[in-house]
Chains A and B, each alone.
Chain A
Amino acid sequence: MSFFNLWKKTNKKSDILQEYYGEAKKLKKSLSENIKIIKDLLGNPNDLIIREIVISEKGDKKLAVIVIDGLTNALFVHDFILKELMLAIRTTDLDDEIIKNTKFVNIIKNHSLPISDIDNLDDFKKLCEKLLSGDTIILFDGYNQGLVLDTKGWKDRGVSEPSAETVVRGARDSFNETIRTSTMLIRRRIKDINLRIENKIIGEVTKTNVSVVYIDGLANEKIINDLKKRLEAISIDGILESGYLEELLINKAYSLFPSMYTTERPDKVCANLLEGRIAILTDGTPFVLVIPAVFIQFFQSTEDYFQRSIFSSFIRLLRFLSFFLALLTPAVYIAITTFHQEMLPTNLIISISGQRESVPFPALIEVLFMELTFEILREAGLRMPRAIGQAISIVGALALGEAAVNAGIVSTIMIIIVSITAITSLIFPEYNFSNPIRLLRFMFIILSAAFGLYGIALGLMFLTMHLCSLKSFGIPYMYPLAPFNFKAMKDTFIRTPINTQFRRPSIFVEDDLVKQNKNNEVIKQTSKKGSELESEN
């Protein structure tokens, strides 16, 4: 409660804020007055650096360089702003006629500052925003104008290996928390004039940079406009992670299945851009959203395209199998052992019932106990400090393993089932996708405990209905399965070789469908008789 009260209080803007932080509150002419207002606006913080300098010998041309320490590249400010203004400028005769006739601000802007991104400024709102995002402000005494210089430079994590989506073969870079680095990584891969990066600032307080990236001519116009409209409609105090946007942008916020693809891999984003999808980059997080997302997408890894197609196809089929194993194994175990004992081979049922002899609980309790234990261990494993990780994992292995069996709390087969579900739910290239499976698994466990295989069948039916009803930015979630598209089957359950894939998925792309030119002479030749090198061999 107190938190909300506090919020209300700060929301009541103080007098100074009301006076100068509006749209039309222009800068004053007096430098000292301006500085005072800035100090008041920001509360005169420790990291606010205001360097007042005099540049003319007479002492009549005063200016102030204002930076926030830590957000700017200190060396850069020193070398290319302060040095220029304080030393290099002395060689110019400021009293020269031509110079006298032009405005002092423009002289400094056009002649003295060797900085690429420079802009004029005349109100406090823009001043504060730029100052707080790491730019350098120069204010002049006697002018109600200032300059904004792009000197952003802060401690950055650097481009490191992706932690959530690893590959054996493929690029090893990942996005980081700085949006500029992220756009750089995309630009490095797609050097097309049609690559559009549109910026937007979202968040009343955080003023987070959000970039919408797409390839003009490939991405569906309707989806882009829809997305922009939805971004426009967002009014929130802060965006700290792309997860905020994900929930703000989607229709069915209560569906378990992700309707946006989240990734930290630039190569994945680029592949999606080439298919006509749209990426949303958020400052402050390495995770990029890709829309529209379809169900099948979560079974595909970038590495599928880097390996030989037969092997990739095998791996993909394996993922589909794992999906059902992760979802249904415990449920089927319950259904078969409590309802359909006749379905197992006699020797197996005898063996299972022998193991279950000493277990005092019904199969449902046994399964829930083990699955919940695993979920707790998994969550604890994610959150705990690394240093005590080992101790916990030993305890976890013991609790889940031998000890539980020996104590007669669970049967050995239960350990196998929990292990299968645990491993299979981690096979998906997109980590988010295992979350709906984890939750639905419990739904299926309850269904099977109450209704047996019949319940599982009903559950699967409703799941299918739900999935078919989902849409991601107007695109059916189950595409290309429902609505069925035969051509897209080349890259769904299996992946055919790249030289057989000529078209982009028609559902995302507006009109430029050709991915690979079929009539290309080289392709024709190689696909007909193999390249010369091959035939020589």
Chain B
Amino acid sequence: MKIKYFCIFLLPFLLTGCWSANELNELTLITSMAIDKEEDGYLVTLAITVPSEATINAPGRSASTVVSSTRGINACDAFRRTSSKISRTPNLSHIQNIIISEELAKEGILPAIDCIIRDDQLRPTSFLFIAKGVKAKDVLAINTSIEHSASSKISQMIKNAEVNYSIVNAVSLVEFINSLTTPDKEAYLPGIGVYGDLEKGNTVDNSQDVAPSAIIYLAPYALFKKDKMIAWLDDYTSKGVNFLLNDVKSTMINYQCDNDRYFVLNVRKAKTKIKVNTKGKVPKFTISADIKGTICQADCRLDLTKTSKVKELENKFQRVIKQQLQKTMANLQTNYTSDVLGLGGYIHRKDHKLWKNLNKDWEEVFKNLQYEIEVKVTIVQPGAIINPITNDDK
């Protein structure tokens, strides 16, 4: 009897075993991946960590990350072929960033992305980027200081941008796939580029120089229609899109009060609500933004100790932001006709019968959507000093 129970106890152990074990020093950790389109197929580039160089005690003579590119007739083929160049089993579970080249994105991103999302190791939370102005593989080859590799620099940079800049925000693999697969929403991805000399950028010296020869930067959003990239936004529209997506954590708003003189609002809190009214023939949107912030720069004379003056300034900022949002909407409607805000989704959720009708030629409907924008700005405090330091009378 006891033996019988003991055998039952042993059964769960048959479900798994050592076959999935991998020693750490038989693995190679891949921190980033770049996919480029070539004439006769795909070029997959992996950023491979050199563990002995990436630790604190590393001598720092050689690069902590090496880059390996391989060609293949499709993305999966190219990825598999990398094993002909790497000494250890690649481990994809720590991939932080996936960079896709502009050409590939323009032709359609799906053939490259399916192989990535299908992999069971890869995290759906890794960030996606579109390489702007350079090949995707070039971004990974830049050596950086502060962070030990381009990969961690990129992922840290986008997190920092999210909190302090809010012109581009990170888009994870799963978010991107979600917008690709839902019909009432279009996708967008942040861009990434390199300033400077690509050749010098991939040397160890680049991370040791005070003024590096090449540096990675974040570019505004790239807009998609289905799985094809259609356009790059500029900073102004990109920030507008973020406001509309309710994705702004902290950013700055400029109001030009005089020639070359500005009031700058440091946005601390921003909340955008989109409501749709489907009662009428054409759905009508109400976009209301509630923005709280402090003053970050004041060049023109204004007595900020008075509530009425502060109110005045608030109104001016309101106008600036409203204009920005209106321009953004107009751009999205007429120039790009891309529903990145997921306005279709709002209708879908509110009135799914109406959405069924509109769905057929949503593009046309989207172009002529009616909307109203309300912006409310509250200046919470003027900062460490109150009145502007100016010496003219304006």
Contacts and interface: CB of A to CB of B under 8 A. Distances in A.
A359 interface: yes
Interface stretch (B88-96, B136-144, B247-255, B269-277): B88-96
Given A341-B27, A452-B16, A357 B51 contact: yes
A363 B23 contact: yes
B56 interface: yes
Given A450-B17, A454-B16, A341 B51 contact: no
Interface string B37-60: 000000000000101111111100
Contacts of B13: 450-451, 455, 458
A341 B123 CA distance: 12
Interface in A350-384: 350-359, 362-363
A406 B54 CA distance: 18
Nearest to A361: B23
B61 to A, nearest CB: 14
A356 B53 CA distance: 12
A104 interface: no
A446 to B, nearest CB: 11
Contact of B25 (A342, A353, A449, A451): A353
Contacts of B49: 350, 353
Nearest to B148: A350
A337 B93 CA distance: 13
Interface string A414-458: 000000000000000000000000000000000001111011001
A342 B54 contact: no
Interface residues of B, number: 33
Contacts of A338: 21-24
Contacts of B24: 337-338, 341, 349, 352-353, 356, 363
B15 interface: yes
B52 A354 contact: yes
A339 B20 contact: yes
B55 A349 contact: no
Nearest to B123: A342
Interface in A448-470: 449-452, 454-455, 458, 462
B152 interface: yes
B12 to A, nearest CB: 6
A354 B94 contact: no
A457 to B, nearest CB: 9
B51 A353 contact: yes
B21 A452 contact: yes
B29 A349 contact: yes
A5 interface: no
Contacts of B25: 353, 356-357, 359
B54 A449 contact: no
B31 A346 contact: yes
Contact of B51 (A339, A354, A450, A452): A354
Contacts of B12: 458
B211 to A, nearest CB: 26
B18 A449 contact: yes
B152 A346 contact: yes
The prevalent SS among residues of B at the interface is mixed
A350 B27 CA distance: 11
Contact of B93 (A341, A355, A359): A341
B390 interface: no
A359 B52 CA distance: 12
B208 interface: no
Please indicate which of the listed interface residues A353, A362, A449, A450 has the most CB atoms of chain B within 10 Å of its own CB: A353
A369 to B, nearest CB: 15
B370 interface: no
Contacts of A339: 20-22
A93 to B, nearest CB: 80
A427 B22 CA distance: 34
A342 B94 contact: yes
Contacts of A363: 23-24
B52 A357 contact: yes
Nearest to A355: B55
A451 B121 contact: no
A347 B20 CA distance: 23
Contacts of B54: 350-351, 354
Nearest to B23: A362
Interface string B216-237: 0000000000000000000000
Contacts of B23: 337-338, 356, 362-363
Contacts of A353: 24-25, 27, 29, 49, 51
A24 B20 CA distance: 76
Interface string B104-122: 0000000000000000010
Contacts of B27: 341, 353
Nearest to B49: A350
Contact of A346 (B15, B16, B55, B96): B96
Given A338-B24, A349-B94, A353-B27, 20 more contacts: A341-B27, A341-B29, A341-B93, A346-B94, A350-B54, A350-B148, A352-B24, A353-B49, A353-B51, A354-B52, A357-B51, A358-B52, A450-B17, A451-B16, A451-B18, A452-B20, A454-B15, A455-B13, A458-B13, A462-B9
A-B complex: 7 closest residue pairs judged by Cβ atoms: A342-B93, A354-B55, A354-B51, A353-B51, A353-B24, A338-B21, A357-B52
Interface of A: 337-339, 341-342, 346-347, 349-359, 362-363, 449-452, 454-455, 458, 462
15 contacts: A338-B21, A342-B121, A346-B96, A349-B94, A350-B54, A353-B29, A353-B49, A355-B55, A363-B23, A449-B18, A449-B21, A451-B17, A451-B18, A452-B16, A452-B20
